[in-house]
Amino acid sequence: MTSTPALPSAESFAAEFRDQLLHEQGVSLRTATPTDLYTALGRTVRRHLVDGWFDTLSTQLDRRSKVVAYLSAEYLLGRQLENALLATGLTDVARDALASLGVSFDDVVDQEVEPGLGNGGLGRLAACFVDSLATLDIPAVGYGIRYEYGIFRQTFVDGRQVEQADDWLALGSPWELPHPEMAVTVGFGGTVEGDHGTGGPRRWVPGWTVEAVPYNYLVPGYGTRNVNTLRLWSARATKAFNLQTFNAGDYEAAVRGQTYAENISKVLYPEDSTPQGKELRLQQQYFFVAASLRDLLDRTLDDQDWDAIPDRVAFQLNDTHPVIAIPELMRLLVDDHGVAWDRAWDITRRTFNYTCHTLLPEALEIWSVELLGRLLPRHLEIIYRINEEFLDVLRGQGASELQVRRMSIIQESPERAVRMAFLATVGSSHVNGVAELHSQLLRDVVLHDFSQLWPERFTNVTNGVTPRRFLRLANPGLSSLLDDAVGTGWVRDLDLLRGLEPLADDPSFRERFRAVKAANKQRLVELLQSRDGITVSPDAMFDVMIKRLHEYKRQMLKVLHVVTLYDRVLRGELRAEDITPRVVVFGAKAAPGYKMAKEIIALINAVGTVVDAAPELQGRLRVAFPANYNVTLAEKLIPAADLSEQISLAGKEASGTGNMKLALNGALTIGTLDGANVEIRDLVGDDNFFLFGLTEPEAQAVQDAGYDPGSYYEADADLRGAIELIASGAFSGGDRAVFEPIVSDLLWKDRFLVLADYRAYVDAQARVEAAYADPDAWSRSAILNVARTGFFSSDRSIRDYLDRVWRADAVPAEPRVG
Q: What is the 3-state secondary structure (H, E, C) of 399-418?
A: CCHHHHHHHCCEECCCCCEE
Q: Is 553 an annotated catalytic residue? A: yes
Instruction: Specify which residues 538 forms β-bridges with.
Output: none
How would you classify the pairing of strands 430-433 and 410-411?
A: unpaired
User: What do you get for the CA distance between the two ends of the chain, in Å?
Assistant: 23
Which residue in the list 231, 438, 510, 547 is annotated as catalytic? 547
- CB hemisphere CA count around 605 (13 angstroms): 20
Fill in the DSSP letter of residue 493: -
Instruction: State the sign of the Cα–Cα–Cα–Cα dihedral 795, 438, 654, 764.
Output: negative
Q: Is 66 an annotated catalytic residue? A: no
Q: Burial-class residue 705 by CB neighbours within 10 Å (0-12, 13-18, 19+).
A: exposed
3-state secondary structure at position 227? strand
How would you classify the pairing of strands 410-411 and 621-624?
A: unpaired
- Residue 66, φ and ψ in degrees, nearest 5: -70, 135
Q: Is 661 an annotated catalytic residue? A: yes
- How far apart, in whole angstroms, are the C-alpha atoms of residue 18 and residue 558? 52
Which residue in the list 231, 321, 469, 548 is annotated as catalytic? 548
Please, where are the H alpha helices in 433-554? 436-441, 448-453, 467, 476-486, 507-532
- Residue 736, φ and ψ in degrees, nearest 5: -65, -25
Number of neighbouring beta carbons within 10 Å of residue 210: 28
Q: Is 558 an annotated catalytic residue? A: no
Q: Burial-class residue 413 by CB neighbours within 10 Å (0-12, 13-18, 19+).
A: exposed
Closest to 543 measured CA to CA, from 407, 430, 655, 671? 671
- CB hemisphere CA count around 619 (13 angstroms): 6
The distance of Cα 411 from the centroid of its chain, to the nearest Å, equals 29
- How far apart, in whole angstroms, are the C-alpha atoms of residue 599 and residue 612? 20
Closest to 625 measured CA to CA, from 729, 555, 553, 540? 555
Residues 6+ apart with CB under 8 A from 663: 644, 669, 680, 684, 785, 786, 789, 792
- How far apart, in whole angstroms, are the C-alpha atoms of residue 712 and residue 494? 44
| In contact, 93 and 7? CB cutoff 8 Å | yes
Which residue in the list 46, 66, 225, 357 is annotated as catalytic? 357
How would you classify the pairing of strands 541-546 and 668-671?
A: unpaired
3-state helix, strand, coil in the chain (%, to 5): 55, 15, 30
Instruction: Give the DSSP H/E element, type plus range, for residue 289.
Output: helix 275-300
Which residue in the list 553, 554, 582, 622 is annotated as catalytic? 553
Fill in the DSSP letter of residue 667: P
Fill in the DSSP letter of residue 267: B
Instruction: Specify which residues 717 forms β-bridges with.
Output: none
3-state secondary structure at position 535? coil
Which residue in the list 661, 780, 788, 796 is annotated as catalytic? 661
Which amino acid makes up residue 513? F
Q: Which residues are catalytic?
A: 357, 547-548, 553, 657, 661
